[in-house]
Structure 1
């Protein structure tokens, strides 16, 4: 029996891909035209040679990594405890984890300024360290929906109750069980959530701008107001970074617990693979 080619599905897929790819190609082509009459990577060179670019990228990277660490410390024990002891509370916790998608970031940051402002009992906004702390907390809040679901799905793929009972029968405490038993088994899920958190935090604009922090998001917007070709180069770089994170998520998501990304192979194994 001859298989029918789904022409309509192919056309829709091609049109959908063109909707995203054509603007990307046009942006990349524009970013190469900083020198009149020739194609060059001068815009990219100009971006990398800027001390401000290195400064804001370093600040955003450090803040994002701290947000990842704090998010893991909050989400992993919470998801573990809800699945192990409070399964009836899962719908409530899932709903609460979706609140950052409902509440606009501008409302969140104005709440921070109101609570931790000048007349507050804890005036964090009066110092750079305090404001940076609020920024990291804001990043954690924005990433909670993605981090929680990644970790929760990872825990759904393992038998938490059995692993906990086995660890406790060997004398492990609950904290030790989470750190040395549960955590390694959901490593790929945590890494996926970490990449999502990093990509969200790196380009975040509203909270960073209103807290007046020297981060990558406001820098990208400012570059768009002052220059023509450098913002296009930054947009291509940000797109490439996002897709790199997605590719790494896919790689780590397919790793089994205890499996390394690059494993050493013995000469005999290599010989068998080549036969």
Structure 2
């Protein structure tokens, strides 16, 4: 038993070092912008850069719209499959996995071919249309994570009983979804939302090929022209991503309490 615990701690230590040592080295390098001393000048330069503020704000806004659209698509679909068509679950799960199989570059080229200025729906012919296309692309990229988060939340509640009780009280399907089902899976929905946000913040390929001022292309442009600021941006991106993951872990602690409301 002691030997197995020792090996478990050694494995854990190696895994932690594998992730933390490169990050700490990147952070240490980002502090060396002044020769012979450590300083936060690289971070000050990044935060004061108008392009950082504009691109980060743009990605946050696009991520927010992607989360909203994803919720409106995934929650009703997962609810319907679980309540009315459980036999379709293998097919739905396969479809939601396709964004993990299809490379983003193929996805964006397909969008460009389908929605160019010579098509019936020329979304790429205007800035607003291209923004819509980018949001839909991010919804597709986040679909595997959003669907599985929502489906996991639905498994923690008795969907059939809740639906029957609400129907007896005179509620229609929209009311049931909005006032009965959604409040009981809010933790799962927020988990999917944070995963979506983490994907949007760091995505490069789709935003770059659609020529949108997103945070991912900004990271690439800074990395190609500067030395210390890219290291600072990498640390900031890690903090944002880990913050989103930490929020998921924090919210997951409330999942049993939320599920208990259905008893």
| TM-score (normalised: structure 1) | 0.91
Of 191-200 and 30-39, deviating more is 30-39
Q: Which residue of 2 aligns with 1:192?
A: 191
- Larger-gyration structure (1/2): 1
Aligned to 1:136: 135
Q: In the alignment, which residue of structure 1 is the partner of 2:74?
A: 75
Query: CA shift at 1:198, angstroms?
Result: 0.3
Q: Which residue of 1 aligns with 2:22?
A: 23
CA contact (8 A) 2:156 2:259 kept: no
Distance 1:172 1:42, change over 3 A: same
| Counterparts of 2:142 and 2:65, CA distance in 1 | 12
Query: How big is the shift at 1:253?
Result: 1.4
Residue number in structure 1 paired with 2:258: 257
| Distance in 2 separating the partners of 1:10 and 1:248 | 26
Is 1:151 the counterpart of 2:166 in the alignment?
A: no
1:137-166 deviation line (CA, Å, top 9, x unaligned)? 000000000000000000000000000011
- SS of 1:75's equivalent in the other structure is helix
Q: Deviations over 1:39-86 (max 9, x none)?
A: 111000000111111000111000000000000000000000000000
**Hey, what does 2:83 align to over in structure 1?**
84
Give the alignment's Cα RMSD to 1 decimal. 1.3
Partner of 1:264: none
Deviation track 1:203-245 (CA, whole Å, cap 9, x = no partner) reads 1101000000000000001100010001100100110111111
Q: Quote the offset at 1:202 in angstroms.
A: 1.0
Deviation at 1:19, TM superposition (A): 1.4
Q: 1:98 to 1:254 in 2, by over 3 A?
A: same
Question: SS in structure 2 opposite 1:212?
Answer: coil
Q: How many Å separate the matches in 2 of 1:212 and 1:150?
A: 31
Partner Cα separation in structure 2 for residue 17 and residue 246 of structure 1: 16
In the TM superposition, residue 5 of structure 1 has moved relative to its aligned partner by: 5.1
Partners in 2 of 1:20 and 1:160 — Cα distance?
A: 40
More helix per residue: 2
* Per-residue deviation, 1:258: 8.8
Which runs of no fewer than 5 residues in structure 2 stay unpaired?
Answer: none
Matched residues in 1 for 2:140 and 2:33: separation? Answer: 39
